[in-house]
Amino acid sequence: MPNQPVYHSAIDSVRALQWTGNALRVLDQRKLPGSVEYQDFHTAKGVAEAIKTMRVRGAPAIGIAAAYGVVLAAQAHHAQNPDTWQKSVIQDIDILAASRPTAVNLFWALDTMRKAIASGGNGPSSLLAIAQSIHENDIAANHRMGELGAALLQGASGVLTHCNTGSLATGGYGTALGVIRSAYALGLQNIYACETRPWLQGARLTVWELDQDNIPATLIADSAAAWLMRSGAVQWVIVGADRITANGDAANKIGTYSHAVNARHHGVKFMVVAPTSTIDWNTPSGEGIEIEQRERKELLSDYYHRDDSVIDAWNPVFDVTPASLIDAIVTEKGVVLNPTAETMQTL
């Protein structure tokens, strides 16, 4: 394993989260690609709202943002009550924890910050160093995963990805999209991205991000994925994860499970890429994952919002792909092929 990952900065120019010193600057992903707008958040409650409203999205990015949210809370409460600031920060941590239920990186980052507070330290400055380390380590881990995942793609002419797993969803470079970036740098030519309804993270975010770095890609409707696989145009489906359980089951954006089923039927390999902070060792299988349900209005047009409408909507944000349909889980600590509860322990 090399001591330092190989950074392809020319194909990684987007940054969704920026620390300014007294605020977290967030790229509002709801407005892409029509406009590129950053907003500054000065409080933990503001960061929690940014996560809840999907200004910030993607499991690693949510964890990083939450860590900076704790720093903002510490700065504010330490200035007001230098002797009792820790108790107030813990209350803000609870607010941040309630912002999204599925992404395990959120709880991992908050637990890291909570332990630092409990151990004492130098107040806000020490917490900032930890948050920045979480951010920097995420980028380094993504580059490492990019190398490991790209090595599995040798001989592949095409790949398909779902949702957005790039710099917009992480500290930088990306998880699944980081693998695709690394593979592109090594000569991969055919990259396909699904629209990813209902928020269109693929259509609005993934292809925009690739366009910023001049990486050619082809957008398809979600419902075209099986037909694309049948055509032989792709040999791998590469996705990220919001939570991976101890046995290798993976929760990811709704529609991922469908791709896994179709991939197995068509002889296409299926890869999940995520840092080890995404692994929930305390949950044995996907049966124990809470699946977030979002509002029905995200699916229904205004016409059906009237009181006398008999039409409802079911809007799960994630689904769970069983480990039996996954060919490889790629982390910064190594690759698990054909994951099971036993092989996952190698990590």
- The CATH number of the domain where 244 resides is what? 3.40.50.10470
| Whether residue 179 is found in the same domain as residue 132 | no
| Whether residue 117 is found in the same domain as residue 160 | no
| pLDDT confidence of residue 95 | 96
| pLDDT confidence of residue 246 | 98
| Whether residue 99 is found in the same domain as residue 164 | no
| Whether residue 95 is found in the same domain as residue 171 | no
The residue-averaged pLDDT of 215-231 equals: 98
Tens of pLDDT along 241-257?
A: 999 999 999 999 999 99
**86 found inside a domain:** yes
Predicted confidence band of residue 96 (pLDDT cuts 50, 70, 90): very high
| Whether residue 215 is found in the same domain as residue 89 | no
| pLDDT confidence of residue 9 | 56
Predicted confidence band of residue 2 (pLDDT cuts 50, 70, 90): very low
CA pseudo-torsion sign 104, 291, 145, 37: negative
| pLDDT confidence of residue 4 | 45
CATH label of the domain that carries residue 91: 1.20.120.420
Chain centroid, CA 86 distance in Å: 29
pTM, rounded to two decimals: 0.91
| Whether residue 59 is found in the same domain as residue 16 | yes
**Token code pair at residue 139:** 């980028």
**40 found inside a domain:** yes
pLDDT at 268 over 80: yes
Instruction: List CB contacts of 322: < 8 A, sequence separation 6 or more.
Output: 249, 260, 286
pLDDT at 23 over 60: yes
**1 found inside a domain:** no
**50 found inside a domain:** yes
Tens of pLDDT along 291-319?
A: 999 999 999 999 999 999 999 999 999 99
| pLDDT confidence of residue 6 | 47
Instruction: List CB contacts of 302: < 8 A, sequence separation 6 or more.
Output: none
| Whether residue 239 is found in the same domain as residue 112 | no
Q: Quick one: CA torsion of 125, 172, 320, 234, rounded to 10 degrees?
A: -170
**247 found inside a domain:** yes
Tens of pLDDT along 26-63?
A: 999 999 999 999 999 999 999 999 999 999 999 899 99
Rounded-to-integer distance, Cα 299 and Cα 297, Å? 5
Rounded-to-integer distance, Cα 132 and Cα 134, Å? 5
Q: Which domain holds residue 115?
A: 9-139
**209 found inside a domain:** yes
Q: Which of 124, 139, 154 is the last residue of a domain?
A: 139
**Count of CB atoms situated within 10 Å of the CB of 319:** 19
Q: Which of 103, 120, 139 is the last residue of a domain?
A: 139
| Whether residue 135 is found in the same domain as residue 157 | no
Q: Which of 12, 138, 222, 242 is catalytic?
A: 242
| pLDDT confidence of residue 98 | 95
| pLDDT confidence of residue 120 | 74
**4 found inside a domain:** no
| Whether residue 135 is found in the same domain as residue 164 | no
User: For this structure, is 12 an active site residue?
Assistant: no
| pLDDT confidence of residue 5 | 47
| pLDDT confidence of residue 11 | 81
Count of structural domains within the chain: 2
The residue-averaged pLDDT of 168-193 equals: 97
| Whether residue 80 is found in the same domain as residue 154 | no
| pLDDT confidence of residue 104 | 87
| pLDDT confidence of residue 26 | 97
Q: Which of 139, 155, 173 is the last residue of a domain?
A: 139
| Whether residue 117 is found in the same domain as residue 185 | no
| Whether residue 92 is found in the same domain as residue 204 | no
Mean pLDDT rounded to a whole number for the chain: 94
